[in-house]
Structure 1
Amino acid sequence: MILATLDNLYANINIQTVACAIPVAVILYHVIPFLLDPQGIRKYPGPFLAKFTDFYLAYISKGQHRSEILHDYHLKHGPIIRIAPNHISIADPDALNAVYGHGNGTLKSDFYDAFVSIHRGLFNVRDRQDHTRKRKIIAHIFSQKSVIAFEPKIQMYVGTFMKQWDRLFDMAVKGQSGDDGEGGWEGKNGRLYLDVLPWTNYLAFDMIGDLAFGESFGMLENLKDIALAPKDPKSMMEDYGKEGKKGELIPVPAISILNTRGEFNLTMSAIPPRWRPLVRLLPGFSQGSKAVQDVAGMAITAVSKRLATPTDRVDLLSKLQSGRDSDGNPMSREELTAEALTLLVAGSDTTSNSTCAIFFFLAQNRQAQDKLHKELDEQLGTEDEFVATAEQIKRLPYLEACINEGLRIHSTSGIGLPRIVPEGGMTYKGEFFPGGTILSVPSYSLHRDPAVWGEDFEDFRPERWFERDQAAMNKAFNPYSLGPRGCVGRNLAAMEIQIFIASVMRRYDLALETPGQKMEVAEGFLRKPLQVRLGIKRRDL
């Protein structure tokens, strides 16, 4: 009896000890590194919790407003703040070259590991030699000369886009309304009112499907957010096309799952790698894991179908297939699929988000829209059923200013991409950062530096690109990142955006649906506008 009582007492004491020890251990785990300050960065200001744990950055990432929150801290504390125990954010244009430029020795951090789902591609590969090998194979397919070959396809899809808007506009002015697949459309006050975002998504997906894999997703034609993914991705990658094997395909909402994937990956990238497997099991994260699998499945499906059907068609995938590294070796099937995944994500979300935001800003700023209409009419003429050409957009300075201003305010990717300081450390403007420290430069904050852009930096005003210091603006403008790991597809993205904006704005007049209307934005890895309802009217040319 006495022994049993002692055992129970001992068990209770152990339970109480463990219950007390766990939170104490957690606190000490985070506090001791802060007190020891091995990187010498305790002096830098920033969010209080960020000094102790990476989970603060994960928390604000999941909240989908990371860039805005950290920008407020930069406004409060200055250009250098601490956003995680070993992560410093530098909102200074000069830091771009110091952190991302050639020859500085910085490396990608484990942030990028969260974005690997099939195989490491050009975007998420961390090894310097492997990156150099991949870039050698890929870079030439996005040269200006190569990109021009895709112009007719881009024009075709932009033309299809405008025919759909013309069709709805003709019905809208007759007082009709309907469902365009995303929230519906209606006619009032002589305009067609609809949510522009799904339309820019449809266009971007169809273009990248055709340019990359030789087949569009059919979204513009069907006005539906649907793509195909394999029920068994591994089997499809290994067996598709062998002895007639096709594998079972299931429809997935491509646009929706891309958004979920972006938020999930950004959140996971802020969590230390050792904790990521555990966090994936938590409630609220299963949907993100599923989205990652589905997006990878879309790439696997597109590549498998394309490779199983021999063709002499020249597209991005065929160019990747024919590419060779310095040893004469081609990419493996897994590498091809990983790069296809990057093409799919970067070629759809970036273009659609940016063009949607630019349309909103032009609808919001009547003066800018009128000036753009004037330039387009004078330089492009007033032919009906017209789509701009790559040659024509070279002589449209105000169009370029409108696009740049849109990309400035709506930074497609606003976060700072993290880099590891090399062994021996780095000194930046008198501040020494030891080897192993993580540095990043946030585009969102760079694009809102009043010293560069003026006190009206939050306003969409294309005229600033002609009035202010051009060299200073170019140094702070970072829509595609820079250095050896900058966006390899920037030439293609720029041409798509220029042709699309020029063609649509020449044909239509845009207006806000309600006075004072705002554009809400949610941030995953990329910044995405939410519902953007505008009024569209065909111009009298």
Structure 2
Amino acid sequence: MWMEAHIYAPFLKLATGAFLAFISLTFIRRRWLSSISDIPGPFLGSFSVIWQILHAIKGHTEEETIAEHRKHGDFVRIGYNEVSVGHPDAIAEVLKSQMNKGDWYRIFSLPDSRYVNLMSEVDAKRHIAKTKNVTPGYAFSNVIKAEGYIDGVLRLFEERLDSLCEAHSPVNFDEWFNFLAFDIMGEVTFSKQFGFIDQGRDIGDAIANTRALGIYVAIMGHFWWAHDYLLANPLIGYFNLQPTMHIFDTALAAVDSRSKNDQVRKDMIEEWMNVRKKHPERMEEKEILAAAVANIGAGADTVSATLQALFYNLLRNEEAFMTLRGEVDNAHLADVPTHEETQKLPFLQACIKEALRIHTPVANGLPRVVPKGGVTVLGRHFEEGVILSVNPWVIHRRREVFGADADLFSPARWMDPARSREMEKSLIAFGAGYGQCPGKHLAQMELSKTTAMLIRDYDIKQVDKGKSWRFETHFTAVPYGWPCYVTRRRKQ
């Protein structure tokens, strides 16, 4: 044994030396020999993606990115090959360009890489082609047709709140807004609620799994190539271990039932199936499934996060809360406020814009890859392959755009029409360019109707009045555990 160890010792030393040399050379090349070596930023970001992973795990990438930009300026090196661009002009020069998205997005192919959706498609041209296929489902003319069905979900939501009121039970809005958002998305996507509101619980831990998936996405997006061997492994789906399989199975059953029944509602899946019937050469059936799963996953969690942020901040700003209540009370709205009515309430829309600004649902940067030949952004040339990312939180906290109080929740800033138009140019809560969220119309309808109804119908007080709660932002920015006492204010 001693002789064998003695024989292999030189080889072990050689291998160790070679490994350390490789690590050293990689560190030197990334830290000092890269074309972006002169751009300041956190030390860990100069040679790795450890800085991004570390703060994704901690749950506050957005805060750290804002701090780095306020320290270093418009350009911050947050990864060995990635630069965060924090100037509003980056919206036009980066997000609205035709640059491909970063490979980080590939991880959104759920349940696995066979199902590429708008989120996970990184090629700009293919993304635009896919957008044409799914646009009919997201068009406002189609969304407005579903308003009556959304009203049904909202009525059921109020019934459950009334039951909690009568029982004098605290309401955990971080749960109930999730139940609401997921059931609405189920209704408009394939004419079927998931049943979260009806049962008043997280069925099959679907929402809990979605939150866990957010942490996974934030970390593994940097190692997208390993995704196919982990959660995207078809065997994971086969054994029903995928966190999104409940959503996927529901979508699959809906598509299958449509092939056997012509008497169906014009929901989103039906619109997409009609596109496929008309243009089978450009849209495969799996694209319908991919769009449905992405629609539920992305649409529900982000709307829920915005509703939570809005009410969380309104409860801490009595002046804004009472101003909104006064506007809603004087509007004499329908039992379930109509979308048309809510668009005539300027302070309500100001509150929604402010919630989207101060607590944008997506906490990460939106990466784009510099194409062949390089690009010039804000007067700086970047070589091919460099990743340029724009973090909405950084843009939304620019004081020269939103004012010296940009870090505070203040809906009143949107009440001056001229100023509002200027600020809206830098409001990118729904993204920008070809990567803009296609569900924007639906999200705005949900936010407007839900907020107006709850403000009018209930008195809401935090159990621990004034207590601040830490918002977790592994991927979507969601606050947890801020229970409230709710009492019925408006008689039915």
SS at match of 2:381: strand
- Contact 2:127 2:434 (C-alpha < 8 Å) held by counterparts: no
- Contact 2:98 2:124 (C-alpha < 8 Å) held by counterparts: no
Match of 2:411 in 1: 462
Q: Report deviation, 1:462.
A: 0.8
Which amino acid in structure 1 is aligned with residue 419 of structure 2? D
Distance 1:129 1:536 in 2: 49
Distance 1:442 1:374 in 2: 35
Out of 76, 81, 103, the residue aligned to residue 86 of structure 1 is 81
Match of 1:352 in 2: 304
Match of 2:151 in 1: 155
Aligned residues: 482
Structure 2 residue 344 is matched with structure 1 residue 395: yes
Structure 2 residue 384 is matched with structure 1 residue 435: yes
Over the aligned positions, Cα root-mean-square deviation in angstroms equals 2.6
* 1:316-335 to 2 correspondences below 5 Å: 316-324=268-276, 329=281, 331-335=283-287
Distance 1:328 1:258 in 2: 32
Structure 2 residue 274 is matched with structure 1 residue 299: no
Structure 2 residue 179 is matched with structure 1 residue 202: yes
SS at match of 1:293: coil
Q: Could you list the runs of 5+ residues in structure 2 that have no partner in the other structure?
A: none
Out of 66, 73, 77, the residue aligned to residue 71 of structure 1 is 66
Structure 2 residue 440 is matched with structure 1 residue 490: yes
Q: Report deviation, 1:87.
A: 0.6
Which amino acid in structure 2 is aligned with residue 362 of structure 1? L
- Contact 1:136 1:325 (C-alpha < 8 Å) held by counterparts: no
Structure 2 residue 121 is matched with structure 1 residue 125: yes
SS at match of 2:331: helix
Q: Report deviation, 1:27.
A: 2.9
Distance 2:52 2:237 in 1: 18
Distance 1:263 1:488 in 2: 24
Distance 1:10 1:141 in 2: 69
Match of 1:284 in 2: none
- Contact 1:364 1:512 (C-alpha < 8 Å) held by counterparts: no
Q: Report deviation, 1:107.
A: 0.7
Out of 45, 50, 54, the residue aligned to residue 59 of structure 1 is 54
- Contact 1:57 1:270 (C-alpha < 8 Å) held by counterparts: no
Q: Report deviation, 1:288.
A: 13
Match of 1:36 in 2: 33
Which amino acid in structure 2 is aligned with residue 457 of structure 1? A
Out of 352, 362, 372, the residue aligned to residue 423 of structure 1 is 372
Q: Compared with structure 1, are the counterparts of its residues 129 and 457 closer, same or farther at alpha carbon in structure 2 (3 Å cutoff)? A: closer
- Contact 1:105 1:422 (C-alpha < 8 Å) held by counterparts: no
- Contact 2:136 2:271 (C-alpha < 8 Å) held by counterparts: no
- Contact 2:89 2:378 (C-alpha < 8 Å) held by counterparts: no
Structure 2 residue 10 is matched with structure 1 residue 13: yes
Match of 2:103 in 1: 110
Distance 2:331 2:43 in 1: 54
Q: Compared with structure 1, are the counterparts of its residues 412 and 7 closer, same or farther at alpha carbon in structure 2 (3 Å cutoff)? A: closer
Distance 2:28 2:64 in 1: 24
Out of 318, 337, 355, the residue aligned to residue 366 of structure 1 is 318
Which amino acid in structure 1 is aligned with residue 83 of structure 2? I
Q: Report deviation, 1:7.
A: 5.5
Distance 1:486 1:292 in 2: 31
Distance 2:2 2:342 in 1: 87
Q: Compared with structure 1, are the counterparts of its residues 138 and 55 closer, same or farther at alpha carbon in structure 2 (3 Å cutoff)? A: same
Match of 1:505 in 2: 455
Structure 2 residue 398 is matched with structure 1 residue 449: yes
TM-score, with normalisation over the residues of structure 1?
0.83
Distance 2:427 2:311 in 1: 20
Q: Report deviation, 1:330.
A: 5.9
SS at match of 1:83: strand
Which amino acid in structure 1 is aligned with residue 266 of structure 2? V
Distance 1:314 1:477 in 2: 32
- Contact 2:137 2:271 (C-alpha < 8 Å) held by counterparts: yes
Match of 1:180 in 2: none
- Contact 1:258 1:291 (C-alpha < 8 Å) held by counterparts: no
Structure 2 residue 332 is matched with structure 1 residue 380: yes
Distance 2:15 2:225 in 1: 23
Q: Compared with structure 1, are the counterparts of its residues 325 and 139 closer, same or farther at alpha carbon in structure 2 (3 Å cutoff)? A: farther
* Higher Cα Rg, which structure: 1
Q: Could you list the runs of 5+ residues in structure 1 that have no partner in the other structure?
A: 173-184, 186-192, 227-251, 282-286
Which amino acid in structure 2 is aligned with residue 150 of structure 1? A
* 1:407-418 to 2 correspondences below 5 Å: 407-418=356-367
Q: Report deviation, 1:358.
A: 0.8
Structure 2 residue 221 is matched with structure 1 residue 269: yes
Q: Report deviation, 1:407.
A: 1.1
- Contact 1:323 1:330 (C-alpha < 8 Å) held by counterparts: no
Which amino acid in structure 2 is aligned with residue 54 of structure 1? V
* 1:117-266 to 2 correspondences below 5 Å: 117=110, 118=112, 119-172=115-168, 185=169, 193-226=170-203, 252-266=204-218
Q: Report deviation, 1:298.
A: 2.2
Q: Report deviation, 1:476.
A: 1.7
Q: Compared with structure 1, are the counterparts of its residues 313 and 16 closer, same or farther at alpha carbon in structure 2 (3 Å cutoff)? A: same
Q: Report deviation, 1:368.
A: 0.8
Q: Compared with structure 1, are the counterparts of its residues 360 and 323 closer, same or farther at alpha carbon in structure 2 (3 Å cutoff)? A: same
Q: Report deviation, 1:222.
A: 0.7
